[in-house]
Amino acid sequence: MAMQNYDAAVIGSGISGMTSSLLFAKKGKRVAVFEQAPHIAPLFSGFDRGGVHIESGFHYSGVLGKDEIGGLLFKELGLNIPVELCSQDGYDDAYLLKSGRLFKFPFGRNLFEQRLIEFFPYEKEGIKKYLNLVYDQLSKIPFLNFHKRKYKNEEFFCFLDDKITLSEVLNNCFNDEEIKSLLSFSSVLYGVPPSKASFVLHCCCSGIMFETVWKIKGGGAALVKEFKRVMDNSGISVFCNKKVIKIEVEKDKKKLTFSDGSQILCDICISSIHPKEFLKIAPPETYREKNVRRIQALPETDGFFILYGKVKDGVRIDTNNMGFLTEDSFKKDHKNAYYVNFSNANPQTVCAVMAVDSAEKLWNISQSEYEQKKKEISQQIKDEIKKRKPELLDQIEFLGIATPRTQKRFVNYYGSYGIMHAADGANLLPITKVGGLFLVGQATISPGLIGAMISSFLLDKIVSRAENKNA
Ligand SMILES: Cc1cc2nc3c(=O)[nH]c(=O)nc-3n(C[C@H](O)[C@H](O)[C@H](O)COP(=O)(O)OP(=O)(O)OC[C@H]3O[C@@H](n4cnc5c(N)ncnc54)[C@H](O)[C@@H]3O)c2cc1C
């Protein structure tokens, strides 16, 4: 039987894979998406347990309003995503354990500035300086601003100098350790400690939440459902349980081989998977040797150990997400940071999260060692809750545990956000040495809904530029 032949094949059905599939379909291409997991977009879809739906890889995001960049990207793709603002007065609660205070993160620059000054009046100058630096950076990132001004195509490919770390900026603006811990806590939510995170990455992931913070009605699953509706209408074929194990170049085509032995051909192949996994399946000529070594050496983000639960029947917990910051959280790079997340889609469901080492050798262990490790870390998290918010232990019914090994099973990497975007490492680009073989996803621009989508829009611009040159 002749092999199936597609104009474009997308490997992986996360946010970037789905976005790329729609962008190539818009170019009139016949597109297929291949996902190794049993269902589409495993990271965003969440799962059902104990009679409730639990969120996995999406809780909230900045700039999803209809006149903001996220809303405009949705519109460009023909998606109608039901978004709703989080509480402006406080979407996250940071417990400052040294001074025994609770800082509720508001959004909106003025409100945020006022609250910071109220808590740290002696750091007023630093607060103004820090916010100016964040907003200055944000205004320079073309992909976050193309709704505000026109850019020449080339400007989208000039990456900002991101050698300065978040720690350097915070140390430069502030003396007080507590405010440094507070303003760097969100580094846990993009997986790079402040001493390694570039300030630009911090602005792309956290700075966008200074302006507005949105939830999606129905959570990540509602977003995936809407993507799937538009993908179906665009004639895109989606295949699950299809793990790509090899990409080969045959004349001007790419041949993909799957773990079940089947094969397809395509003209264009877009990989949205972890770059180190991509190296394992890509043809040897994809990158120069020095780039292969560079990608192999990229550090991984920390993993997450997550206790999932639901609020017990009859109990009402009126709170936001909770982060607990000790005096030396910043100095210790938020090592083993600990966070309790109440889902925005269903506040009766909870994730108690602890950042843990994601090294493969720590999780690719025997079943009995793994069970033991799960017990130990679960207990560590419960002990933390007991110390910080003992009442929660009686209010929550724990339903399950996810570890970096669970993450590996569902998305094929251990670290919570894949590779680390460290200030001293160069950005990975979507183009490879093989014509028509591309890389998108959180490893190229930044993690998160916005970063993953932008990576696909960046590739779209690159392809359009090449098409115009060849026309
Ligand atoms: C616990 C957690 C909470 C988060 N919360 C938020 C949040 O609130 N807001 C936010 O904006 N971001 C959040 N994120 C980050 C966000 O989920 C990710 O940055 C984003 O989903 C990454 O999308 P992606 O398309 O780059 O990668 P992925 O979603 O990882 O997509 C890659 C896909 O490729 C598939 N794949 C891998 N190998 C193969 C293969 N060989 N063959 C076929 N398929 C393959 C994988 O199964 C996967 O589905 C969170 C992440 C985690 C882990």
What are the tokens at 204? Answer: 């792309």
- Residue listed under structure tokens 């299809």: 242
87 CA to centre of ligand 1 in angstroms: 26
Helices (H), 267-366: 275-281, 289-297, 360-363
115 CA to centre of ligand 1 in angstroms: 33
- What local confidence, expressed as pLDDT, does residue 25 receive? 98
What are the tokens at 262? Answer: 């089947």
What are the tokens at 433? Answer: 């040495």
Total of domains in the chain: 1
Q: Is the CB of 62 under 6 A from ligand 1?
A: no
Whose alpha carbon is nearest atom 28 of ligand 1? 14
Q: Is the CB of 61 under 6 A from ligand 1?
A: yes
CATH code for the domain of 452: 3.50.50.60
- What local confidence, expressed as pLDDT, does residue 159 receive? 65
Q: Is the CB of 42 under 6 A from ligand 1?
A: yes
**Closest among 116, 246, 87 to 182, alpha carbons compared:** 116
Q: Is the CB of 209 under 6 A from ligand 1?
A: no
DSSP secondary structure string for all residues of 96-148: ETTTTEEEEE--SHHHHHHHHHHH-GGGHHHHHHHHHHHHHHHHH-HHHHTTT
Residues 6 or more apart whose Cβ sits within 8 Å of residue 394: 312
- What local confidence, expressed as pLDDT, does residue 401 receive? 96
Q: Do the domain assignments include residue 69?
A: no
Choose which residue among 13, 36, 40, 43 to substitute to test ligand 1 binding: the one with the highest number of ligand atoms within 8 A of its C-beta: 43
Q: Which domain holds residue 242?
A: 4-62+219-299+422-470
Q: Do the domain assignments include residue 414?
A: no
Q: Do the domain assignments include residue 327?
A: no
In whole angstroms, what is the distance from residue 66 CA to residue 72 CA? 6
What are the tokens at 346? Answer: 């269903």
- What local confidence, expressed as pLDDT, does residue 291 receive? 93
CB atoms within 10 A of CB 77: 23
Q: Is the CB of 223 under 6 A from ligand 1?
A: no
* Per-residue pLDDT in tens (0 to 9) along the chain, 471 residues: 678 999 999 999 999 999 999 999 999 999 999 999 999 999 999 999 989 999 999 999 999 999 999 999 999 999 999 999 999 999 999 999 999 999 999 999 999 999 999 999 999 999 999 999 999 999 998 888 888 888 887 787 776 667 899 999 999 999 999 999 999 999 998 999 999 999 999 999 999 999 999 999 999 999 999 999 999 999 999 999 999 999 999 988 999 999 999 999 999 999 999 999 999 999 999 999 999 999 999 999 999 999 999 999 889 887 789 999 998 999 999 998 989 998 888 888 999 999 999 999 999 999 999 999 999 999 999 999 999 999 999 999 999 999 999 999 999 999 999 999 888 877 788 999 999 999 999 999 899 999 999 999 999 999 988 888 776
Q: Is the CB of 272 under 6 A from ligand 1?
A: yes
- What local confidence, expressed as pLDDT, does residue 417 receive? 96
Q: Do the domain assignments include residue 19?
A: yes
Residue 20 phi/psi, 5-degree rounding, is -65, -40
